[in-house]
Amino acid sequence: MTRRYLIQSIAAGALAIGLLGAAAAASAQDRKTIKIGVTPGPHAQIMEAVKPIAAQKGLDIQIIEFSDYVVPNAALEAGELQANSFQHKPYLDNQKADRGYRIEAVGYTVNFPIGLYSKKYKSWDAVPQSASLAIPNDPTNGGRVLLLLQDKGVLKLKDGVGFKPSVADIVDNPKKLKITEIDAAQTPRTLDDVDVAAVNTNYATQAGLDPVKDAILREDPKGPYANLIAVRAADKDQPWVKALVESYQTPQIKEFILTKFKGAVLPAW
């Protein structure tokens, strides 16, 4: 190899490396980093499975876990998150009405049929008169439990209560259940103190409960309680939002949900 040819080869190699570096830098700049708020358990686990699919569409997902249902919408409204995935539409609608959030649903995710659990009784029929019952204290999830109890013939509510009935709307309570309202995230911890507790599926699985085997009453997977991805209204038409929803609503994620959660969590798209 001549000296001149060697110099040309080295120069060409350096140019190629430089072009590759520039392409990588450009590619990194083209990627969109989005922070997504979730609650621990299934929502977080599913979003972890979404991450590599979204990466192929240029999205770098950073998952931020919240231990309650209140903060994720406040953080999204404040711009601390770009999206969240933890709530159903009645809850979001209630938050928007109460707090004026400019947040919109952009795609459905999963359904978590809510259940009633007990450490003392193996079936609902075994639950005695005047039993103590803990339910979530937010209007939508607490109301959801009351609608479940009405659907199962346990109690009766006023006509026309919609999706947010309260304890005050109970007109017939044959079992004379003593109902206590507490924060949804704390409901699994009450099982040592109450006869029965209504627990959202994400908190139930996090506490080691099996919603399919352990629930003594369980909601039918119907109605408006499908969970969703939410973003700020100003962002809903952004290309990354479409990419995020498409990454979630894939056959791979559907299979992951069905395999991982064995019926406790159901795809909602």
* pLDDT tens-digit map of 206-259: 899 999 999 999 988 766 889 999 999 999 999 999 999 999 999 999 999 999
Residue position matching structure tokens 């359904």? 111
* Residue 76 pLDDT: 98
Is 171 part of any domain? yes
Q: 67 and 195 share a domain?
A: no
* Residue 222 pLDDT: 65
Give me the domain span that covers residue 137: 115-218
* Residue 29 pLDDT: 53
Q: How far apart are CA 95 and CA 71, in angstroms?
A: 11
Q: 104 and 230 share a domain?
A: yes
Is 14 part of any domain? no
Q: 237 and 107 share a domain?
A: yes
Q: 103 and 167 share a domain?
A: no
Is 33 part of any domain? yes
Q: How far is CA 195 from the centre of its chain?
A: 27
pLDDT digits (tens, 9 = 90+) for 10-19: 444 544 445 4
* Residue 213 pLDDT: 94
pTM over 0.85: no
Number of domains in the chain: 2
CB 202 within 8 A of CB 41: yes
* Residue 15 pLDDT: 46
Q: 189 and 148 share a domain?
A: yes
Q: How far apart are CA 46 and CA 3, in angstroms?
A: 58
Is 73 part of any domain? yes
Q: 168 and 108 share a domain?
A: no
* Residue 239 pLDDT: 97
Let me know if 85 is exposed, middle or buried by CB neighbors in 10 A (0-12, 13-18, 19+).
Answer: buried
Q: How far apart are CA 154 and CA 127, in angstroms?
A: 11
Q: How far apart are CA 165 and CA 178, in angstroms?
A: 17
DSSP summary character for residue 31: -
Q: 198 and 161 share a domain?
A: yes
* Residue 225 pLDDT: 87
- Residues of the chain with pLDDT below 50 are 1-7, 9-12, 14-17, 19-20, 22-28
